Amino acid sequence: MRAIYKALYRENLTLEAAKDRILQMAKDKPEVQADVDMMMDFLAGVSPKVGIVRSRRRSVD
């Protein structure tokens, strides 16, 4: 779950890129398939108008 959270919230990816990364995790490590399925089900139910809350990273100069 930590890697899924990181892909979704910390790696500064678009939502679609994060979904692709999460799906790849299940291919690389079949033991995380249940967690990936749970997250993908959640993301499938997210309205495109509402989305999910993700903070924007600020660059530090």
Residues ≥6 apart with Cβ < 8 Å to 33: 26
Burial degree of 3 (CB within 10 A; 0-12, 13-18, 19+): middle
pLDDT reported for residue 35:
95
* Maximum alpha-carbon separation in the chain: 40
DSSP-derived secondary structure letter, 51:
-
Q: Read off the pTM.
A: 0.73
Residues ≥6 apart with Cβ < 8 Å to 1: 35
pLDDT by residue (tens digit) across 17-26? 999 999 999 9
